[in-house]
Amino acid sequence: MRMKLENGELVIAQLDSTQYAIIKSWNLMRWNKQAKWLEGMASSELLNKLASICRLPDQIEAERQRLNRIQRAVDAERLMEDPTEYKFPVKIPLFKHQQRGAVMALITFGLLDPGIVKVPEKPKPVLESAEESFNRFMRYVDGDESAFDDAPVRR
């Protein structure tokens, strides 16, 4: 299988019948009868699916990683409590959802670096070993009502 990425369009040639059937089933590419190859827009979804069935050339893999980085930044911006601070050239201050949408659009269209979005870290839950949980349960069975008072809470 041979691949070429040009102006955001992915072209795949010299496929065997199995590869053709798999890629065609995704409905993300169309067959060009004259050139005898598959062609379609190089989206994140298409490139991730192709990466799962074969090794991508370096240029196409770099594009896949770039698109995934942009998608992660947009998703992080969408889920953040407060939007990323950015000075927009408007007279009236924007609401949070407007500022968030504008930052996501700038990231998507490549006018703002995806690295500007700070992904908040989730606190890791405090877990106890199976032996500690079992001992806590046995204390409760033996009549200790306060056995679970200091247990870690799962959220």
- Specify whether 89 is located in the same domain as 123: yes
Name the phi and psi angles at 9, rounded to 5.
-115, 130
Domain membership of residue 65 (yes or no) is no
Domain of residue 95, residue span: 70-145
- For the cut 60, the answer to whether the pLDDT of residue 123 exceeds it is yes
- Separation of alpha carbons 108 and 81, rounded Å: 20
Residue 91 resides in a domain: yes
- Kindly state whether residue 152 falls inside one of the protein's structural domains: no
How many domains does the structure of the chain reveal? Answer: 2
Q: Is residue 63 in some structural domain?
A: no
For 86, phi and psi rounded to 5 degrees? -155, 135
Residues 66-113: tens digit of each pLDDT: 999 999 999 999 988 888 888 999 999 999 999 999 999 999 999 999
Amino acid found at 28: L
**81 domain-assigned:** yes
